[in-house]
Structure 1
Amino acid sequence: MRDIDSTHNWTTIGVLAGLPILLFVFSLFLGRYTIDPFTAIQIIAAGITDAIPSFPVSIPHTWPAVMDTIVWRIRIPRICAAMLVGSGLAISGAAFQGLFRNPLVSPHILGVDSGAGFGAALGILISGSLLVVQGLAFTFGIVAVVATYLLARVYRTTPTLVLVLAGIIVGAFFQAMISLTKYVADPFEKLPAIVFWLMGSLADVRIGDLIIVGPLIIGCMIILLLIRWRINILSVGDDEAKALGINTTRMAQIIIICATIITATAVCISGIIGWVGLVVPHIARMIVGPDYRKILPVSVVIGACYLLIVDDIARTLTAAEIPLGILTAVIGAPVFAYLLKFRKVGWE
């Protein structure tokens, strides 16, 4: 029996390790401009060898120059962004579910998406510059969570229930502000841009965006992975955690800060994408059980693969690109309903 369990574990690890690589390569040749798999791999290899002047082997460029542009400037940044955003939202949702001891919690529970959405809408309204839109989205996402935390501090101890209620209040306020920006926006130019951004898309992501947001998301993900064993203790209850010597207030602050930075950073480059941080942790829990030492890394892998698959569908299914927020809801809602039907939403 022990040998069977060990084989199953190694099989799961192998699948989880290999799936992101396979999906990455598969996504390279998907799109309106067809590139066969062999050529896509050649383009990647040539780009790597060309970047190393002393590399002994040179791969001849037998393909049109436009393919280099499509692969390196459009598809690779978009693929990396999809995997980065998906993994970030998934690990944030898993960490919040452990912190709040609630399987229905998502990364947006503290109002970060509403704040970031208002910031982006305001940026589109006053400027239209992508840098301004992303900067205001990130800033107001952080402002929303800070406001939530300060509002919850009226109880001094900041119990999780009050924190959730404060997040609902702040989220409702910023949703009203989003509606106000839509109301005053130009209905022919600004309003469609605001609506499309709020529905989520990775079409405008470039290498420069990844250089800026990548370290923030990856750094916070590493912190959450390093403290994931403490989330196990927090998920049991505050009293038990304190009895084991855990500073619950400080740990909650670290988790909230890291998850907020991840979510705000993800939202500022992708728009509002729901359901990823809610559904993926439950799928991870079904695979590896309730241990957060395993749930968080598995959520990272599944989240990256899930959003990459959704983005591939979004850019290839129809002639006009489908917003990611629509697809994640269309896919996520039935999956979550399935989990509810078979009682797989919970901690068992």
Structure 2
Amino acid sequence: MKNKNVNRCYIILSMILILLALISLIVGKYEISRSDLLRLLDNALSNNLSMDDTEAFVVFAVRLPRIIMAILIGSGLATAGVGMQAIFKNPLVSPRILGVSAGASFGVALGILIYNNLIFIQLMAFLWGIVAVILTYTIGKSSKSSSVIMIVLAGIIVSAVFTSLLSLVQYSADVDTELPSIIYWLMGSLSGIEMGDIRVAFIPIVLSIGLLFMMRWKLNMLSLSDEEAEALGLNVKLYRILIIMASTIISATAVSMCGMIGWVGLITPHIGRMIVGTNNEKLIPISIIIGGIYLLLIDDLSRLLYSSEIPLSVLTALIGAPIFGLLLKRTGGNWI
């Protein structure tokens, strides 16, 4: 696709994201009219906003934080998906392949079991997600003939171990109090997000996205064989570690903030490839936008489709799997 057309796609998708964010501020169980939203935005810009106003509280304390977090996490998971698919040379890879999601989920369950405090749970999820990836990389690099395949196999092993540990924690949890909390958290939700959570998640996710964005042209080289990439002067081992670190931080932060959210890092890069092709220099920026749109739309549906909020992991699977199947059916996999 020509650069002019790509830039047009960036602009159109960015406008769609902004429009969807504004609509998300209005729709919900407590409806806000467009005129009221404009009034509230004007008051906020003029520093004349009162949180005692019910509508102001709903818009700026309830809906705005979850909108920002949905865009942040959706963009992060999409970017991580592009990076992981490039270094593993496999378009069916997602950020969960290294065991980070399983490790972080175990951290959530263990945190609830030990000390049911939000900050402690988020910290445990992040730390155990990092531990899982360190174990994966250590096992995958323990052989002289180690390769990307070894790391993938190590990720499967580590994921299985932490999934078993998660089941053990759930078995040990109190059925009336702890177990429902564990299950609800792991199913994924943005309902409890506050501005304080945004401040915690913003720096690690944005820095990781920024790192992957700066290395986007090197992802094209990493998609080649290791021998070809090294012949072009690329330090394959260094850049692979950096990409894995950035993807791990994004995934662990996402789980620690809102539980397990699947399919985002798998589907959104493929949608981006259908628009701009396989060049990662163009794919990374457009995936950032598409990821934000996708998860924000999923979050809107989760709170609008039913009387009670539907867990995000349920909708991402119900919507993501058919979309992926449709893309495969219509294109025959030529966009992969």
TM range, smaller chain? over 0.9
Q: Relative to structure 1, is the Cα distance of residues 291 and 338 closer, same or farther in structure 2, using a 3 angstrom cutoff?
A: same
After the TM superposition, which of the residue ranges 147-156 and 248-257 deviates more from structure 2?
147-156
Tell me how far 1:156 sits from its aligned partner. 4.4
Deviations 1:29-75 (A, max 9, x none): 1111111122113212312321xxxxxxx68x7x9711111111111
Matches within 5 A, 1:1-348: 8-50=5-47, 65-156=53-144, 158-343=146-331, 345=333
Alpha-carbon distance in 2 for matches of 1:270, 1:193: 13
Alpha-carbon distance in 2 for matches of 1:347, 1:276: 17
Aligned partners of 2:109 and 2:169 also within 8 Å: yes
Q: Relative to structure 1, is the Cα distance of residues 344 and 77 closer, same or farther in structure 2, using a 3 angstrom cutoff?
A: farther
Deviations 1:211-249 (A, max 9, x none): 011011001100100010000011022111001000000
Task: Tell me the TM-score normalised to structure 2 length.
Answer: 0.96
Task: Tell me the TM-score normalised to structure 1 length.
Answer: 0.93
Unaligned runs of 5+ in 1: 51-57
Tell me how far 1:254 sits from its aligned partner. 0.5
Q: Aligned to 2:95, what secondary structure does the other structure show?
A: coil
* Equivalent pairs, count: 336
Root mean square deviation of aligned Cα:
1.7
Tell me how far 1:112 sits from its aligned partner. 0.4
Alpha-carbon distance in 2 for matches of 1:276, 1:346: 20
Aligned partners of 1:101 and 1:235 also within 8 Å: yes
Q: Relative to structure 1, is the Cα distance of residues 154 and 64 closer, same or farther in structure 2, using a 3 angstrom cutoff?
A: closer
Alpha-carbon distance in 2 for matches of 1:284, 1:344: 16
Alpha-carbon distance in 1 for matches of 2:238, 2:334: 26
Alpha-carbon distance in 1 for matches of 2:284, 2:186: 27
Q: Aligned to 2:98, what secondary structure does the other structure show?
A: coil
Q: Aligned to 1:154, what secondary structure does the other structure show?
A: coil
Match of 1:54? Answer: none
Tell me how far 1:344 sits from its aligned partner. 5.0
Q: Which amino acid aligns with 1:101?
A: K
Match of 1:53? Answer: none
Unaligned runs of 5+ in 2: none
Q: Relative to structure 1, is the Cα distance of residues 38 and 112 closer, same or farther in structure 2, using a 3 angstrom cutoff?
A: same
Aligned partners of 1:274 and 1:329 also within 8 Å: yes
Q: Which amino acid aligns with 1:270?
A: C
Alpha-carbon distance in 2 for matches of 1:322, 1:176: 26
Aligned partners of 2:10 and 2:286 also within 8 Å: no
Q: Relative to structure 1, is the Cα distance of residues 45 and 173 closer, same or farther in structure 2, using a 3 angstrom cutoff?
A: same
Q: Relative to structure 1, is the Cα distance of residues 189 and 87 closer, same or farther in structure 2, using a 3 angstrom cutoff?
A: same
After the TM superposition, which of the residue ranges 153-162 and 122-131 deviates more from structure 2?
153-162
Deviations 1:244-289 (A, max 9, x none): 0000000100000011001111111010000000010000000000
Match of 1:55? Answer: none
